[in-house]
Amino acid sequence: MELDDVSRKVLKTLAQYRSMPFLELTAVCDIGDDKLERIVDVLEGKDMVKVSNRHNILEEVITLKKRGLEVMD
């Protein structure tokens, strides 16, 4: 499955922590909110991540799913 470098960076970060708050993920990956939101939407559409509390950016959490981890191999 083709993913760009930034998407792979997000998956690698999540592989280390399993899940992270959205705002923390933006800081750790050094990606702007809008760009990360688009990446997360794509990864969620490909069933690689799960998003909790999507409508509250202060509580939004991104969790790596098994499929996302498999892509890293």
Q: What is the pLDDT of residue 2?
A: 74
On the 0-12 / 13-18 / 19+ scale of CB atoms within 10 A, 33 is exposed
Collapsing DSSP to helix, strand or coil, 52 comes out as: strand
The average pLDDT across 10-38 equals 95
The average pLDDT across 7-35 equals 95
Domain carrying residue 59:
5-72
The domain spanning residue 27 has which CATH number? 1.10.10.10
The average pLDDT across 25-54 equals 95
Query: Is pLDDT of 1 > 70?
Result: no
In the sheet that holds 49-52, the strands lie side by side as 19-21, 61-64, 49-52
Q: What is the pLDDT of residue 57?
A: 86
Residue 50 Ramachandran class (φ > 0 left, ψ -120 to 50 alpha, else beta): beta
Confidence of residue 3 (pLDDT cuts 50, 70, 90): confident
Domains held by the chain: number: 1
